Structure 1
Amino acid sequence: MVPGLAYLVINNYIPLAGLQLAFKKFKYTEGIWGSPWVGLKNFSFLFKTNDAWSLFRNTIGYNLLFLFINTIFAIFVAIMLNEVKSHFVSKLSQTLILIPYLLSYVVISYIIYAFLGQTSGMINNSILKPLGMEGISWYTKPEYWPFILTMVQAWKSFGYNSIIYYATIIGFDKVLYEAAAVDGAGTWKRIWSITVPLLKPTIITLTLMSIGRMFYSDFGLFYQVPMNSGMLQDATMTIDTYVYRGLMENNDIGRAAAAGFLQSILGFITVFAANAIVRRIESDNALF
């Protein structure tokens, strides 16, 4: 336990002292402890900005969409992996679906640009123009980016989650499937009547964990993939990217700390609320 506890204390508990930055006007000359106290003033900038509605709409809306699509897609892929009888094909599939997860968003942003670039992108040059259609300036059209970001996020994230579901599925008692087959249940009937119900505790656990990050966003996805295009900010701006831009422009560490603190508190409340609902409906599947 000692190495794990040491890591936890150093990385998770000692930095808690820095939370006071959320309530201070940080000055480099005076340090964390000497900087003047400003109370809740740092929190107000997130709500007073004209972009407040877009910030929270995008952050929460995208996370809800990602949660739904990734869960469905990951479960589907995990079930398909389980149905593959060849051990070699199954292992090869597991390796391939984890490749996007291992790629950084710096690499992914260039891959996406290779598809969406206006002058040299594959979609414009190899698909639209041969069909007699004009190329689209993807990086100036915000209406396309909710779909693009959703596809990119699903492509990068579903592999890791599907492996978790797959590991759960292969642990199920095979006698249940054999008994169902003897009773005449086909493949889809066994999946719907045995696999999906048995996956419910795992689905609920992963969903509750995801809800805890509902007020956070993947910085690489929303900043690097759209190439930080100002024309796309209405569709790509989230709390994290807004705070980052503010920090880079104004160097206001207090506001950045306040935003992170607010995200943590809201996530904490959301997890407890969601878990309370699960506990009321089906207490055996609640986290606590």
Structure 2
Amino acid sequence: MNVALSNNKADSVVMKKRKKTFLSEIKLNFYLYLLVFPGVLYFVIFKYLPMVGIIVAFQNYNVVKGIFKSKFVGLKNFEYFFTSKEWLTVTWNTVFLNLLFLITGLFFSVLIALVLSEISSKYFKKITQSIVILPNFISWTLVSMFVFALLSTDIGFVNSVLKALGFIQKGQEINFYSNPKLWTGILIVLKIWKGAGFGSIIYLAAIAGIDQEIYEAAKIDGASRWQCITKITLPQLRTTAVLLTIFGIGGIFHGDLGMIYAIVGDNPYLYDTTDVIDTYVFRMLRQLNDMSMSTAIGLYQSVVGLIIVFVTNFFAKKHDPDSAIF
């Protein structure tokens, strides 16, 4: 009996101590927690609470009946998608384009960061950095207007230049908007132009955090600028690159609806290379008004993406524990 009482007292003391420690931690770092609070609140309201809607993926959702009274249909919504003739095409396009975006984005972001870090003039460096970052703040809708002005069959700049140089005659213009093979490259170029500069900020910050004494020691030993980049800078960027790659792979099953829909629209001639899961879902939602199927496909994207993140993180942790997310 005495042993039980003593154990209960010990547990209560531990709980009070933990509570006191937690409260004192908040009190000690009050302003830091205050800064974090809006972000946590955002995720709770807009990310976690909407997860209740996952149940719609297994229902024949009716707006009038709502989530909790709509008819349960099991996996029929998933069956509809996986038995359609488009699912393989849109899945392949989504993964293929995102892999290319990820690889090229990583390469050019690091390249821009390296170039900016090597510029000695602070004034010129700031101007250059502003120029390469600016495209990130231009909307895809505005970009689509520029693209149309460049690639239009009748009045496009590219066809006009080709005709002026004598490479093509009138009536032989390249119809970019009916040739799906050209658009993989076009989308990659646009993605790099718009996002690589902004993506270089993180790598530039990582380069700025490298101890300058390492470079000084290397120069004393006779290392060239190229050797400093390849032997010091790039290895120091590995952890950052792996972390960002893991985050990027998490969204590999999510197509960039805003980009693709703004640039090519709902153009059936280009479905072979530009139709991704998100554009397919948007099109089906407009045509069928089926929220259940859209939710089911969204769940499929999220689950597969989560699995890929865990697998990628496992191999990253095995190779370099510092590069893993968890």
Bin for the TM-score computed over the shorter chain: over 0.9
Partners of 1:89 and 1:103 in 2: CA distance:
23
The residue aligned with 2:81 is 46
Q: Does 1:20 align with 2:55?
A: yes
Q: Partner of 2:292 in structure 1?
A: 254
Q: In structure 1, what is the equivalent of residue 260 of structure 2?
A: 222
Q: How does 1:1-288 map to 2 (within 5 A)?
A: 1=33, 2-133=37-168, 134-288=172-326
> Unpaired runs of 5+ in structure 2?
1-32
Whole-angstrom distance in 1 between the partners of 2:308 and 2:205: 28
Structure 1 runs of 4+ aligned residues shifted over 3 Å read none
The normalised TM-score by structure 2 is: 0.86
Contact 1:81 1:90 in 2 (8 A): yes
SS of 2:111's partner is helix
- So what's the TM-score if we normalise by structure 1? 0.97
Task: State which structure, 1 or 2, has the greater radius of gyration over its C-alpha atoms.
Answer: 2
Label 1:48 to 1:129 Cα distance change in 2 as closer, same or farther (>3 A). farther
Letter in 1 for 2:75: L
Q: Cα deviations across residues 6-59 of structure 1 (Å, max 9, x unaligned)?
A: 222111111111111111111122112211111111112221111122111101
SS of the residue 1:43 aligns to: helix
Task: Provide closer, same or farther for how the CA distance between residues 45 and 128 of structure 1 changes in structure 2, counting only shifts above 3 A.
Answer: farther
Amino acid aligned to 1:12: K
CA distance in 2: counterparts of 1:147 and 1:4, whole angstroms: 37
Could you tell me how far 1:129 is from its partner in structure 2?
4.3
Counting matched residue pairs gives 288
Q: Deviations over 1:240-276 (max 9, x none)?
A: 0000000000000001111111111111100000010
Q: Which residue identity lines up with residue 155 of structure 2 in the other structure? A: S
Distance in 1 between residues matched to 2:166 and 2:110, nearest whole Å: 36
Deviation at 1:160, TM superposition (A): 1.5
Q: In structure 2, how many angstroms separate the alpha carbons of the residues matched to 1:194 and 1:44?
A: 52
Structure 1 residues 147-156 or 219-228, which shifts more? 219-228
1:124-152: CA deviation from partner (whole Å, max 9, x where unpaired): 01234423313201001111111111111
Partners of 2:116 and 2:162 in 1: CA distance: 32
In 2, distance between residues paired with 1:180 and 1:91? 27
- CA distance in 1 between counterparts of 2:62 and 2:162 reads 54
Shift, 1:284, TM fit? 2.5
Distance 2:89 2:43 in 1: 35
Structure 1: 5+ residue stretches without partners = none
Greater CA drift, 188-197 or 19-28: 19-28
On the 8 A contact 1:109/1:227 being kept in 2, the answer is no
For residues 128 and 176 of structure 1, the distance between their equivalents in structure 2, rounded to whole angstroms, comes to 55
Same amino acid, percent of matched pairs: 36
What do residues 88-138 of structure 1 show as CA deviations (whole Å, max 9, x unaligned)?
A: 111111211111111111111111111001111100012344233132010
**What is the rounded CA distance, in whole Å, between the counterparts of 1:213 and 1:62 in structure 2?**
12
1:201 counterpart letter in structure 2: T
Listed one character per residue, the Cα deviations across residues 213-236 of structure 1 (whole Å, up to 9, x for unaligned) are: 010011122221113211111111
Which stretch has the larger CA shift, 140-149 or 2-11?
A: 2-11
CA contact (8 A) 1:129 1:135 kept: no
